[in-house]
A and B are shown apart, each in its own frame.
Chain A
Amino acid sequence: MTPSSRPAIAADHGRPARPDAIPAEAALAVRGLTVSYGEKPAVFSVDATFPAQSMSAIIGPNGAGKSTLLKAALGVIPRLSGEVHVFGRPVKEARERIAYVPQRASVDWDFPATVMDVVQMGLYRRVGLLGRLSGRMTRAARDCLDRVGMADFGHRQIGQLSGGQQQRVFLARALAQDADLYLLDEPFAGVDAATERAIIDVLKALEAEGRTVVAVHHDLSTVRAYFDHVFLINVRRIAEGPVETTFTTEALQATYGGRLAAAHLDELAVAGGRA
């Protein structure tokens, strides 16, 4: 955990990467990450440390680079610069310890596959390109569906699911990866209340098992209920740390600028400066 008792507002943007400064206990450590889609950087020189065995939220306004940070850390999109370590090792060497849940809208749900087909994609690291799926693995995949409350939907075509059900299938696929670090991109976007409840229960259970959860999150009203640790981003890092010390009015104002009414901020955030 970051030991700071006050919001760590980053003042030194653009400093060089310092891979030697990666805390050993970090599940995910990003140093000097810059990503650009065109000429303007989407994420600029970001350092981020997500503590192990906790639940972290990546928070920021639309277009602030939340998803970009996650995808670039995973190598899903190329990074201009920066280093990423997962449990102290370069991300490329730690793939089997990472489970990834992309945004639900990023895939074509008319793809000819059943729910079970999608969940079994999560077993890829264990079966490899040509390995045979054993009966035990198939049963494990079915258990993962059961954990998200979708046990009866294994044979359903994925295009016939509701948005919430699709999100649960993606979560079940990540569970099938049996990873130590779960990275989720907007897991609660456009899902019904029951699904949101089911997903947060599963994530809390993962945390209780000693695993690490990092989620891109956009609903400020649930941050305090769901997460232990926050990372505030608006292209550059704004602040990071425990929710009770970092998720403050001033940090949110620095992140969102004039986009959120001050009164609204006060309701959401813990009082500024409170230790």
Chain B
Amino acid sequence: MGPEFVQFSLTPILIGIFASVACALPGNFLILRRQALIGDAISHVVLPGIVVAFLVTGVVAAIPMLLGAAAAAVVAVVLIEAVKRLGSIEPGAAMGVVFTTMFAAGVLILEQTDTSDVHLDVQHALMGNLETLVWFRATGWESLLDPAALATVPDELPRMAVVCALLVACTVVFWRWLKIATFDEGFARALGIPASAVGFGLVIAAAVAAVTAFDAVGSIIVIAMFVCPPAAARLMTNRLAHQVWWSVGFATLSAVLGYVFAGYGPLWFGAENAVSAAGMIAAVSGAILGLACLFGPHRSRVGVGRQEAP
């Protein structure tokens, strides 16, 4: 792994890892709360919010995008409630209708606007631009110690690293709240734990991860990482802490293997061009989940040894 690796592959791989881990962490708790669909909804609804934020401000910057995404989330909640009541259909279906419609609206608005001078188009929204986040000034591993070269790493890297670190810190600090409130909300409230705030904070954390990761890696990875690594991790262990560690490991593995397979895999099979790194990372995470379903040690946990009394 010589200078070319540092120049062309190191930063995309690191960004991929940070994005995957940032999404997988809240994903663990969303899955245990049977709210995996919320992660899915967030990652879809974020798109129109970001596009409208860009139209209003004219720049692709983190804070306006986050505010736009938050506004879109509020609109989504109102619409979901409206569809649920007016159409009297079940919440899951209402959610599904609203978030796909809003995503589609985001794609349409995006197509109609002139975003040619910024990295914002339909393909970018879906798959990000991981392959273009290269570090041109790097001349090799020694560049990691060169402040002048370090100053030129793509903006996405420090931004994604900070968000990832923030989510790790929140997971550690609020660990007991997350654990107790996710397992037994009533008990948590009786203890004085602000269970509603914990649930709300979790959705906020997922939204922050989604918006930041969306910019760098696109929504395909975000959707996959909220669900696949935590779900695969759940099949590997029966302890919450171990599950979170496994999910971080699987997210990292997906990012690394996915990037490498996307770049070199097609060549191994005689094809000429590399494939989308985002698509391959998501596909690898899906494959890991598939393997965990087949071979995970705790996959048949449901109802094992349970003798329901009458």
Contact = CB atoms under 8 A, between A and B. Distances in A.
Contact of A162 (B173, B237, B240, B309): B309
B177 interface: yes
A121 B187 contact: yes
Interface string A114-126: 1001100100110
Contact of A106 (B176, B179, B186): B186
Query: Interface size class for chain B?
Result: 35 or more
Interface residues of A, number: 37
B183 A111 contact: yes
A95 B191 contact: yes
B293 to A, nearest CB: 15
A98 B308 CA distance: 29
Interface stretch (B7-15, B109-117, B297-305): B297-305
Interface string B266-310: 000000000000000000000000000000001001111111111
B176 A129 contact: yes
A160 B187 CA distance: 21
A112 B190 contact: no
B119 interface: no
Nearest to A158: B238
Nearest to A173: B187
A110 interface: yes
Nearest to A106: B186
Contacts of A125: 191-192
Given A129-B177, A130-B173, A160 B186 contact: no
Contact of A111 (B173, B182, B190): B182
B243 interface: yes
Contacts of A98: 190
Contacts of B180: 121, 124
Contacts of A159: 238, 301-304, 306
Contacts of A154: none
A161 B306 contact: yes
Contacts of A108: 32, 34, 183
Nearest to A166: B306
Contacts of B186: 71, 76, 100, 102, 106
B234 interface: yes
B189 A112 contact: no
A107 B186 CA distance: 9
A74 interface: yes
A127 B238 CA distance: 23
Contacts of B240: 111-113, 117
Contacts of B305: 160-162
A17 interface: no
Contacts of B174: 129
Contact of A75 (B34, B189, B239, B310): B189
B184 interface: yes
Interface string A168-203: 000001000000000100000011100000000000
B309 A110 contact: no
B309 A95 contact: no
Contacts of A112: 32, 234, 237-240, 242-243
B193 interface: yes
Nearest to B176: A129
A75 B190 contact: yes
A173 to B, nearest CB: 8
Nearest to B174: A129
A111, A112, A130: most-surrounded residue (chain B CB, <10 A): A112
A107 B188 CA distance: 12
Among B182, B193, B309, which residue has the most Cβ atoms of chain A within 10 A? B309
B191 A107 contact: no
A3 B129 CA distance: 77
21 contacts: A75-B190, A76-B190, A95-B190, A95-B191, A102-B186, A111-B240, A112-B32, A112-B237, A112-B240, A113-B239, A121-B183, A124-B180, A124-B193, A127-B176, A129-B177, A157-B238, A160-B301, A160-B305, A161-B305, A190-B308, A192-B309
Interface of B: 32, 34, 173-174, 176-177, 179-180, 182-184, 186-187, 189-193, 234, 237-240, 242-243, 298, 301-310
Closest 4 CB pairs of A and B: A100-B190, A157-B238, A160-B305, A163-B309
Interface of A: 71, 74-76, 92, 95, 98, 100, 102, 106-108, 110-114, 117-118, 121, 124-125, 127, 129-130, 157, 159-164, 173, 183, 190-192
